Amino acid sequence: MITISGEGLTLSDIVAVAQGAPVRLSDDAAVLSRVAASQGRIEKAVAGGEQVYGVTTLYGGMADQRVPVERMVELQHIALWHHKTATGPRLPDPDVRAAMLLRANSLMKGYSGVRLELIQRYVTFLNAGAVPQAYQRGSIGASGDLVPLSYIGASVIGLDPAFLVDWNGETLDCHAALARLGLEPLVLRPKEGLALNNGTTASTGVAANAMGRTVTIFALSMAVQAMLAEALLATSQTFHPTIHAIKPHPGQLFVAGLFRDLLAGSSLIRSEAAGDRGHRQGALIQDRYSLRCLPQYTGPIADMLALAARQIVTEANSANDNPLVDPDTGETYHTGNFLAQYTGVACDTLRAQLAMLLKHLDVQIAMLVTPEFNNGLPPSLVGNTGHGLNMGLKSLQLTCNSVAPLVQFYGRSMVDLYPSHAEQFNQNINSQAMNAANLARDAVEASEHFLAAALVFAVQAVELRANAVRPGFDASDLLSARNAALYRAARTAALGPADAARPLLWDDTEGFIQDKVEGILTDLRQGPAIRAALAPTLVDVAAFFGG
């Protein structure tokens, strides 16, 4: 049970609720008193004839027009009605759930001037599994995510049957959904419509889910890199503590330590302690850059992703609508907290760093399939070299060569592409955070496909290496403890348990490579085995990223 109090939500909390975990509102008296105080302050302002944006005025570039008292409630409903302008694909249910959680969390900070009853609507929908239909396109992340949050807000209050709700495989109009929940449509009070749709919580919800999956992607990419290092007979000296202590970037130190753990006990990694270079005749005295510079290359990626994760979590625990009411002093502030710039920048960072991860793995795979660089493995990791027509994983490399550039394209900046003329030039800067977040989801999904393919390369490579070291393709006894666990899980997901008599791919026509990739991808996303095998590394990465 996740408690919503306006603060303290972690990345793992958000992901858990997005996937169906139950929630409750805090019963802390201090929290509840702040919510009540800010709502009372709005009522006092209305009664006293004070001028407050979006309460006594129209919105945005029309905020010079005053609204009479008798139409202030109508104005709040119009705030939601007016923004039923979305287009494009549906927002996935986990992203809608994350957005609902974060909207409730923001309102529970007690700066938004709304009733507790209204916030409870989000909790009721979340716990019932009722998911308002919202869409990916329409928000520029300036005055918050007005369009998607309006669809969600209109659904939970029952503004009009045109707003739809998905529930247990059935689509209902919001009035029917409320009836099943034992609720009536809720009439808004001054400021409440604006509090529902004027905030960063849709884009930040998408961003949090993408970052949650990125934690797994980063952990898995490090483990795959470690398996590839074993297959390529790399040296352990690359990760020696002394090297990184004298260039002590946090990410570099973390990655080097992570690889020491990932490779501990490996029989394939060359140990070069005490000056022993393990130099093989005809081989380079040192590994090529993509192996030798692993901590220096992936360390900055870890640092940047950790920064992006912190930005997303901070935004998720913020008050981000406008105007805001200080529950302690009663002061009303016209603010810019609705600008989702941090979320947009974080999502741009996330995508750019995923692109860097995949580009590096793509280079490693290229080395792995090329006899000139792979220390004695067959070309394209062919299993049965005596067949004469086998081509191994040649075509799968092309798949990786297709996906990696796509993620690099996704990695281009979005936040600097804003139109400066939006909404009568009122929203003349805007974050484009929703677009950046949706692209982050796309980049994450493509990266998961790439990593599933990379695991096929890793499994085939270590099995061929194992058979070259001693008879038998089962590599479990030669790999490090962490990598052996991942190897067994991935091997089973791809084809079945490791077989000493045959590698993952022996003859090309024994089965389709796509099926092996899909088996790994399905387990990565839905099954427990790969994540369980990855658990120690996931814990390390999640801790570095801040939970």
Catalytic residues: 53
Q: Is 362 helix (H, G, I), strand (E, B) or coil?
A: helix
- Is residue 56 within 8 A of residue 74, CB to CB? The reply is no
CA distance 109 to 319: 6
Q: Give me the residue label for tokens 């019963």.
A: 27
CA distance 292 to 155: 55
CA distance 382 to 399: 17
Paired with 172 in beta bridges are: 165
Helices 201-231 & 341-368 angle (0-180, nearest 10): 20
Half-sphere exposure of 539 (CA within 13 A, CB side): 7
- Please provide residue 25's backbone torsions phi and psi, each rounded to the nearest 5 degrees: -80, 145
CA distance 427 to 205: 22
Residue 153 Ramachandran class (φ > 0 left, ψ -120 to 50 alpha, else beta): alpha
Would you give the DSSP letter of residue 322? Answer: S
CA distance 490 to 482: 13
The letter for the amino acid at 132 is P
Size (the chain), residues:
547
